[in-house]
Chains A and B, each alone.
Chain A
Amino acid sequence: MNKTLAILGWGTVAVLGAVAVGAVAVRRGEPINALWLVVAATCCYALGYRFYSKFIATRILALDGLRATPAERLENGRDFLVTNKWVVFGHHFAAIAGPGPLVGPVLAAQFGYLPGTMWVLAGAVFAGCVQDFVILLFSVRRDGKSLTEMAKDEIGRVGGFVAYVAVIAILIILLGVAALIVVNALKASPWGTFTIAMTMPIALLMGVYLRRIRPGKVLEVSGLGFVLVLAAIWGGQYVSQNAALARMFTFSAPTLAILIMIYGFAASALPVWLLLAPRDYLSTFVKLGTIALLGVGIVALHPTLHMPALTRFVDGTGPVFAGKIFPFAFITIACGAISGFHALISSGTTPKLIARETETRMVGYGAMMCESAVAVMAIIAACVMQPGIYFAINSPAAIVGQAPATAAATISSWGFPVTAADMQALAHAVGEQTLYNRTGGAPAFAVGMAHIFSHSLGGETLMALWYHFAIMFEALFILTILDAGTRVARFMVQDALGHVYEPLGRTSWYPSILATSGLIVAAWGYFLWQGVKDPLGGINSLWPLFGIANQLLATVALCVATTIIIKTDRIKHRAKYAAVTLVPLAWLVAVTFTASWHKMFDPNPRVGFLAQARALSAGPATGVTGRLIFNNRLDAAVTGILVVMVTLVLVESLRQWWGILSGAREARVKESPFVRTRLVEEQG
């Protein structure tokens, strides 16, 4: 009876999912309701989790509930700790959820809602969730080793070295792009800048409260900080309406870039936990709350998507970023589908908290499903806007023109009608002077989110408050990533330099702290400055670079996973199962290598870095031409170096696989020995 009910229930989910995906995929020419995307996503995730992840868990990974995990064997009350699975799930999700699944889908919406939705659903179920799950499990079976350590152990020294360099490269590019998103969201926005500036004294106040008044009461003080932030957002409107105050908080993009670089250096080099730790808590509090609220808002309002399923820009001529749907849609959306960065978290804190191997499925596969759901929400937020408005916000001035009337006319000529009056009314409604040329994805997401919130909570009068709430929410956690990322990169560089000269490795030696912090900030600051000065808005060149770097790291992670599966399955004569990681790996290699080729050598100056350098050389010289040419060549070189390094890992992996499968090489799995868990007896 139970089996019959299960078949009927899952059969219904499958049919419903097929109908919803079909409706999303084949509907043309008329707006579609966002609930179709929600239903399609829910059914795909449910089926993926119930069947595909279970297949991987039982047939390939053979999860063993009786095997003691490092959290049990090495428990020390600090890093290694047996933790409730739901708590680990929440902790893991809070660590993997960042601006990526919000910004990438917004940018990719220039192709229409269909490509992004399909990639997010298929990418997550068959690639991203699988990567996070298997890397988490393999790390658990290796005492919580990191991805770079596993790459070194399983693929060889080249794998370990490349993974290490790729992590630093990604961090630097990511931090540069993240900072650029904040700059583009806050430039010439006194309301937004005031709100973000106010988070500094609020965080300091929280720090004092935590240290002096109620030590350790973080949840309590985070709630208090959140109320103060809401007050700052409310107060921001009066700042923007007062000429003197508005002038004080109005900054150009270069000025904001310099301020953010100073902030990043101070956050990395100075002992400023009084500021940073409370900001981190506040950012997490706001992030989790907002994501939950957005989900509720979308279901409650179930808005209509005005963006078509496919736009004319699938041909590669898009104004947001140039390049065809393949491969660029697949590198633009990373975090919502598959992100190499997640492999670092799946092999970082999380494996040290897992109580039982069987819980890796829920934590690894399940948390990535939730991240993917966030990306679906971002697609909906971007597509509820009229397409003309979406393109007016996201297109750089160099493409659509500087003057509002010219920009509106250009965008309307693409078949997406918008008028200067529409844009003026929208800017007025959200409390900004203008919303043109706000590249980077964050302002477009904020407008979409404000649209959803204001229609479900508070009405049109609260549109400006919701917009600035969304901007604050994005900027706050991007700034948290900037300070945390700069510190992580600084420690990695110090670890490496410590092998050359021992004092450089000491994390308490100030000359080393200052030098390495300066080095890291200079590196990402260079990319930020390049983006700020780029006439195409910076996102056109930097976001693809970040996407390529992130997906190349996923390639390394999947090489490690495939190598381990082949080694394990060679012993058990089931090497065919390596396909679960090999197929996504092959797809990522095709995507990232094609994208890299285009970014380096495509003859279209809007796509290829070298073509743009040539076009600039051939054109009229201005004061910045030389630097723009250098920047393009540098971006091409960075892309080329990353591709060469990942090719080395691939070749090394292929040699391993060939040797193992042909019997020439011993299939030695470097796992910790089996120890029977005592948790079962304790619970029994």
Chain B
Amino acid sequence: MKRVREGTRVFAATLFATLREIFDEAAYARFLSRAGTVSSRAEYAAFRREFEDAKVRRPKCC
């Protein structure tokens, strides 16, 4: 039972981490960590500006 609970916890944590990566929440957290600051409107706007420069070059498949 303990192993099942641990397995479920690991699965949920990995799924959440994957979703955070896909939806750029993790990228924003890294941006804040790099800048040594906390989340705010101005920081998010700065993140978007930096992110868009890279993101537009990412291809998405058909």
Contacts and interface: CB of A to CB of B under 8 A. Distances in A.
Interface of A: 77-79, 81, 83-84, 86-87, 89-91, 94-100, 174, 178, 210-212, 215-219, 222, 273, 277, 281, 284-285, 288, 334-335, 339, 341-342, 344-345, 348-349, 480-481, 484-485, 487-488, 491, 507, 546, 550
Interface string B22-47: 11110111100110000111011101
Contacts of B39: 215-216
A284 B22 contact: yes
Contacts of A98: 60-62
B12 to A, nearest CB: 12
A215 B40 contact: yes
Contact of B34 (A77, A95, A488): A77
Contact of A91 (B22, B44, B61): B22
B9 interface: no
A349 B54 CA distance: 10
B52 A273 contact: yes
Chain A residues touching B, majority SS: helix
Interface of B: 14, 17-25, 27-30, 33-34, 39-41, 43-45, 47-48, 50, 52-54, 56-62
Contact of B28 (A81, A87, A216, A344): A216
A341 B57 contact: no
Chain B residues touching A, majority SS: helix
Contact of A84 (B17, B24, B53, B58): B17
A216 B57 contact: no
B62 A99 contact: yes
Contact of A341 (B25, B28, B29, B62): B62
Nearest to A371: B61
Given A216-B28, A218-B23, A210 B44 contact: yes
Contacts of A178: 62
A284 B59 CA distance: 14
B27 to A, nearest CB: 8
Given A216-B47, A217-B25, A335 B61 contact: yes
B14 A341 contact: no
Give the 9 A-B residue pairs with the shortest CB-CB distance, closest first. A215-B44, A90-B18, A100-B62, A218-B23, A216-B28, A487-B56, A96-B61, A98-B62, A87-B18
Given A97-B61, A99-B62, 11 more contacts: A77-B33, A81-B30, A84-B17, A95-B58, A210-B44, A211-B48, A217-B25, A219-B25, A345-B60, A484-B56, A550-B62
Nearest to A492: B57
A339 B25 contact: no
Contact of A277 (B30, B34, B48, B61): B48
A335 B25 contact: no
A152 to B, nearest CB: 18
Contacts of B17: 84, 86-87
B19 A212 contact: no
Q: Which of B14, B23, B53, B62 has the most CB of A within 10 A?
A: B62
Given A87-B14, A87-B21, A215 B41 contact: yes
Contacts of B60: 95, 98, 345, 480-481, 484-485
B23 A284 contact: yes
A348 B59 CA distance: 8
Contacts of A217: 25
A100 B60 CA distance: 11
A345 B21 CA distance: 16
B18 A488 contact: no
A339 B61 CA distance: 9
Nearest to B21: A87
A484 B25 CA distance: 20
Contacts of B62: 98-100, 174, 178, 334-335, 339, 341, 481, 546, 550
Q: Which of B27, B48, B61 has the most CB of A within 10 A?
A: B61
22 contacts: A78-B54, A79-B54, A83-B21, A87-B21, A90-B19, A90-B22, A91-B21, A95-B61, A97-B61, A100-B61, A215-B43, A215-B44, A218-B24, A219-B20, A219-B25, A277-B48, A284-B23, A339-B61, A345-B60, A488-B56, A507-B53, A550-B62
